[in-house]
Structure formats: C-alpha cells, structure tokens
Structure 1
C-alpha cells in the first residue's frame, strides 16, 4: 500500500518516509525469520524431529536461506546507506556507510550513485567471500551488518548444506 502511495500521491515526501519505514521493517522481518528458520533447521539436524529431513530437503532449505539472507541484507544496505535511495539522489549530506570504488576520491564517476543492484552485489560478495571485496564499510553499523550477514551465510553453508551433502552422499 505505501509503495503504491508513493507513485500515486501528490505529497510524496511523507509517502517516501513511509515507504522507507516499510522497507526497513520488511528487511528486518525477512532477516529475523531467516535466522529463526535457520535455527529450526539446525535444531532439527541436531535433535531430530517428527520426520527425518532428507538430503535434498536440507540442501534446498540451505539454498533458500542463503538467497533470502543475501536479498534481505541487500535491501537493508540499500535503505540504510547515506539516507537510502532518496537521500543519495537528493544529495543530502548524510555520511555513507559504504565506499564504492566509483565514489572513491580520485576515481569518482561524476553523478554516479549506487542502486539496488550495487547493494545486491555487496550482499552477495559478503555472503560468498565472508569479507569485503571492492566495497569498503565506513561505519561501525556497516561492519556489524556485514559480520551478521557473513555469519548467517557461514552457518547456513557449514552446518545445513554440509549436513545435506553428507546425507546425500550416504
């Protein structure tokens, strides 16, 4: 509803604030539910459950958890960095959380601003390499978020995916 309101309403400033709040809440909810689902999977692996999960179910669950983790953090990064999309496009003087190579002093691409795909790349790199690649965190908030994302991805791969491969191999 708020997302449609942004495009239809004449007083866009208020709708943009509502949109940002909704997207931040959605990203947070997605990530909390991902952690809960991951914890449930790990509990099921360790303790067991009413029915035994097969290797294919575990592998599929780990892939879905990893993809949702990446997409959720990309959305969160996109909404938080430098005041969100609106803050970046209006030139608001809000300190950025990440330094993209295109904005580095001496390498700056005039008029360039990161979009969702750039934050998706950042989230994918963090979840795959468990570290920064070419985008550097500039704030403690960015570092903590990247640590959290990499931790969720690591647990997903080490515990759930490796157990799935073990079950499939036997």
Structure 2
C-alpha cells in the first residue's frame, strides 16, 4: 500500500464532517439515566431538566443532522450549554446523594444512583471536552492546522511522529489525525477511573480545572459505593 493511500485512509480531516450520531446517542443515554434517578437526588421534577436537554439536542440535530459541517455562534453556545447542563445537574445530584448518605440514608436505589451519576459524569465531561478543544468539532475538521486555536489536550497521536513507522504513520503530523468524540469520551472515562490524566495530557488551565472537577466528582461517587460496600459487611 502506498504512503499516499495510507494518508488518505487515515486522514479524518478529509471526511465531510464528524458523525453526529455518537455524541447524540451519548446525550440520549445521559438524559435517560438522569430521568431515572431516585427523587431523593433530584432538585426538581424529573422531566424538566431532561426536557430542556432534549430541546437543545433537537435544535443541534436540525443544524447538523448527520455530519458536523456547520457551526454558528448560536449552535456552539447551545452545544456547550447542553454539556454544562448535563454536568451541573449531575453534580447537584451527587451533592444530594452525599447528603443522603451522611444523614444515614441507605438503600439499593441510592447505590444504583451513584452508578448512574458516575456514568453521566463521564458523558457530560466527554461532551464538554469534545466541544472545547481546538475550537470544537467543526473547526478541528475544516481549519488549516496553523489556524486552529491552541489545543487544550495533547493526545498520543500528537507526539508519536518520530516513533517506528507502523506507529508514526498514524500520527497527527503524518496522517492528519484529529480527535473525534470517541477520543474525548475515552479521555473522560480514564479520568473518571484513574482520577488523573493517563495517556492524554491537559495543556491549558481550563482543561486542568475541568479534569480536576471531574476527577473529584468521580472520587466522591466511588467513595459512596465503597461506603455502601463497607456498610453491607457483616
């Protein structure tokens, strides 16, 4: 296979916009999970917040139904607002969950709620990272690299251009690789699991602050699960 065909196959920037389906499905999962939380960890009617999130998602789907090819100031603000709404309401649910535990409340529904909150934490921050880094999914795909905003995160593909050939051919410099939603979801997953960066490093202050908030929330959620486990011991 020629080097040209390898470049064309691996260059994500050559495709006509990032696929809208993965982030849309992630939002739907987060909305459903939040709507199924116990009433004890909700600050309002369980359908109000999911209803607002669904309306924002529908508006974004109208703008880019299949591929992320168009971006306006409104659509970018709405996308960031959707991710922030998922995160903030989830953090409030976590605070109420911790309050329930410290007040001596127990029950299987609260244990399930902790798992739901952890999952929503992963999705919400993954969406926010995806939207913020290098100007967002549309700019990352369409702008020339010298014109891209400064990166918030450094992926392994951004620094392996001098590795062995079977690794370096997939690097950002040689293949035109750019991160897509699944890469930011993985970043969010590992940060929520390890409570720290793993293979993707934060570069800006806002990236470090966001990852710190996410890791702290994930740690608190994990401690709730541990508390349940210890409390169930004979």
Structure 1: state its 5+ residue gaps. none
2:32 alignment counterpart:
none
CA–CA distance in structure 1, aligned partners of residues 114 and 225 of structure 2: 6
TM-score w.r.t. length of structure 2: 0.64
CA–CA distance in structure 2, aligned partners of residues 19 and 104 of structure 1: 32
Q: Return the match for 1:119 from 184, 200, 212.
A: 184
Determine whether 1:58 maps to 2:110: yes
Determine whether 1:152 maps to 2:213: no
CA–CA distance in structure 2, aligned partners of residues 162 and 93 of structure 1: 43
2:122·2:192 contact (CA, 8 Å) conserved in 1?
Answer: yes
1:58·1:161 contact (CA, 8 Å) conserved in 2?
Answer: no
Q: Return the match for 2:149 from 78, 90, 94.
A: 94
Give every structure 1 segment of 4 or more consecutive aligned residues whose post-TM-superposition deviation is greater than 6 Å: none
2:60·2:79 contact (CA, 8 Å) conserved in 1?
Answer: no
Per chain length, whose mean CA-contact separation is higher, i.e. which structure has more relative contact order (CA < 8 Å, sep 6+)?
1
1:37 alignment counterpart:
93
Q: Give the paired residue count.
A: 161
TM-score w.r.t. length of structure 1: 0.86
CA–CA distance in structure 1, aligned partners of residues 181 and 80 of structure 2: 14
Structure 2: state its 5+ residue gaps. 1-57, 162-167
Moved more, 17-26 or 82-91: 17-26
